Amino acid sequence: MSSTTGQRTALGQALLPRLPDAVRRPGYDRSALRIGMAHLGVGAFHRCHQAEFTDDALEQSFGRWGVVGINVRPPRLGDTLGAQDGLYTRLLRDGDASEARVIGCMLAVVDSQEGPEPALATLAAPEIDVVTMTVTEKGYCHEPATGALDADHPDIVHDVAHPTAPRSVPGLIAHALERRMLSHGQPISFVSCDNIPSNGTILRTVVTALADARSVELARWIDANVTFPETMVDRIVPATTPDDLATVEAAYGYRDTAVVVGEPFRQWVIEDRFAARTPPWGLSGATFVDDVTPFELIKMRVLNGAQTSLCYLGVLAGHEYTCDDMTDPVLTGFVGRMLAEETLPHLPPVPGIDPEAYLAQSFTRLRNTAIRHRNHQIATDGSRKIVQRILNPIRDCLDSGGGAERLTLIVAAWMVYLVSASERFGRRWKVEDPFAAEAERIADRIGRDPVALVDAILAEDTIFDPALATRPAFRSAVIRHLDGLLSPDPIAYLRSMA
């Protein structure tokens, strides 16, 4: 609902006709739009990526594809998106250029932080044919090394004991599907848009594991009526800042508390496997394919591998943002050679994509000074990301008989980032990672002994496959690099590697 209280007018449905010409508005009759989808985890990435694809598709082929946004973790949506009738501004930035657009496909928002019922009711509703998801890697409650359900996760332990009052995302989905089965039986597709290879397979694995524990009937119904398409999503979307909110107000004359910012580039590759109606995302540039895997691997190991590598090295070099890292010739030279010599040779062919051109394009995107992506933000949940981005490429290098010196150095850089938060290492920064507390305990106990540190961290088999962790060449390289990066001048050690 829009309002005027002596301040700038707030964004809302009533303001849409009065937006300045410089702001693009929905090119369809929003009053005629009806709900057909839900999205779980309405963070900045979804609003800057899948929601934009949906708005573009609605402009090309209008249909019942309005979205209900659901958040089961903070922040609450009612005070932001709900108060703005689901509307928000999407800013695209490239250098000095900026383009504003109001996205209109979200018709309702649901907060489910205090309990699962609002989310369960939405996911079980017969009009919902598709659910997209961005709940981050840790939301799947899986073991990164295997993809299996983490049966020891506290929320999973609770959900097995109390399946009708779930706390976890897999538990929430499993019980919502049980409700669908028992009420109307309408099929549904769950489309994971999180940055995890085989995201659909992992989602199906964790949900069906809980369903199997619930009943054979539920597991069979899911197998026959629910699909979990794989996807690959790509757009760099940093966290929104107060300056971003102020920019919209100053430039366009209205208040928006839900602004999102992204780069112009976007990509969405979707496995063509839906149980019910399929949104016409192909009209807005998404690609439907039989096998997403090659697209996942090149994006995860090249673009995301570069981001992960640069974030740890950038912090050690004293840089704040990725675009700062990209001005450092030591960092870019090291990461560029790593990707070209150790990562690209072991990737499968990707239809329509030249690997070397993709690498060059990725570096161009990371140089965008208008996208202020903090190194510490990228480092968040690194223990969930490093398996696919760094460890699996190392395994492929070693299995082929080649070396992986530079990739292995990134493993050591990740370890340095973790242990530097311990009292023994001076608490230089706060780490947001599921493994952070254990890494801090290891560092407090061991101190600056690279051999003992590496052995203790490599023993964490939810991250490190023992078949890799016990390889002498891998272990010895990590120890050597950790020792070098723990020196007073870690970048001098990195320079020596060049």
Give the pLDDT score at 299: 97
In a domain, 196, yes or no: yes
195 lies in the same domain as 88: yes
Q: Residue 195 above 70 pLDDT?
A: yes
Question: How many helices (H) does the chain have, and how many strands (E)?
Answer: 22, 15
Report pLDDT digits (tens) over 205-241: 999 999 999 999 999 999 999 999 999 999 999 999 9
More confident residue, 143 or 200: 200
In a domain, 237, yes or no: yes
Please state, in angstroms and rounded to a whole number, the distance separating the CA atoms of residues 302 and 299: 5
In a domain, 471, yes or no: yes
325 lies in the same domain as 457: yes
Q: Residue-wise over 331-346: b if at least 16 C-beta within 10 A, else e?
A: bbebbbebbbbbbbeb
Report pLDDT digits (tens) over 7-57: 569 999 999 999 999 999 999 999 999 999 999 999 999 999 999 999 999
Q: Residue 453 above 60 pLDDT?
A: yes
Average pLDDT of 392-407?
Answer: 95
| Contact in structure between 292 and 124 (CB atoms under 8 Å) | no
352 lies in the same domain as 210: no
279 lies in the same domain as 300: no
Q: How confident is the model at residue 197 (pLDDT cuts 50, 70, 90)?
A: confident
Give the pLDDT score at 30: 97
Q: How confident is the model at residue 6 (pLDDT cuts 50, 70, 90)?
A: very low
Q: How confident is the model at residue 5 (pLDDT cuts 50, 70, 90)?
A: very low
Q: Burial level of 253, CB count in 10 A (0-12/13-18/19+)? A: middle
Q: What is the CATH number of the domain that holds 372?
A: 1.10.1040.10
236 lies in the same domain as 338: no
Give the pLDDT score at 56: 98
Q: Which domain holds residue 428?
A: 293-497
266 lies in the same domain as 327: no
Q: What is the CATH number of the domain that holds 156?
A: 3.40.50.720
| Contact in structure between 424 and 414 (CB atoms under 8 Å) | no
The closest of 358, 460, 343 to 406, measured between CA atoms, is 343
Task: Tell which of 221, 256, 289 closes a domain.
Answer: 289
Q: How confident is the model at residue 312 (pLDDT cuts 50, 70, 90)?
A: very high
353 lies in the same domain as 428: yes
The share of the chain scoring above pLDDT 90, in percent, equals 92
Task: Tell which of 272, 289, 306 closes a domain.
Answer: 289
Report pLDDT digits (tens) over 122-160: 999 999 999 999 999 899 999 887 889 999 999 999 999
Six-digit token pair at 90? 């999407």
| Contact in structure between 272 and 288 (CB atoms under 8 Å) | yes
64 lies in the same domain as 146: yes
57 lies in the same domain as 174: yes
Give the pLDDT score at 426: 80
Beta-bridge partner residues of 24: 101
Q: How many CB atoms lie within 10 A of CB 297?
A: 21
In a domain, 70, yes or no: yes
In a domain, 396, yes or no: yes
Task: Tell which of 289, 314, 345 closes a domain.
Answer: 289
Between CA 458 and CA 466, with CA 464 as vertex, the angle to 5 degrees is 85
The residue type found at 478 is V
User: Can you give the length of the chain in residues?
Assistant: 498
Please state, in angstroms and rounded to a whole number, the distance separating the CA atoms of residues 465 and 391: 9
Q: What is the mean pLDDT of the chain?
A: 95
Report pLDDT digits (tens) over 252-300: 999 999 999 999 999 999 999 999 999 999 999 999 999 999 999 999 9
In a domain, 1, yes or no: no
In a domain, 77, yes or no: yes
26 lies in the same domain as 42: yes
276 lies in the same domain as 298: no
Give the pLDDT score at 78: 83
Give the pLDDT score at 2: 39
Six-digit token pair at 246? 């102020």
If one counts the domains in the chain, the total is 2
Give the pLDDT score at 431: 94
Give the pLDDT score at 71: 93
Between CA 286 and CA 297, with CA 291 as vertex, the angle to 5 degrees is 85
In a domain, 3, yes or no: no
Q: Residue-wise over 188-198: b if at least 16 C-beta within 10 A, else e?
A: bbbbbbbbbbb
70 lies in the same domain as 99: yes
Give the pLDDT score at 425: 86
Compute the half-sphere exposure of residue 440: CA atoms within 13 Å on the CB side of its CA.
Answer: 15
The closest of 472, 434, 432, 467 to 454, measured between CA atoms, is 472
Report pLDDT digits (tens) over 466-481: 999 999 999 999 999 9
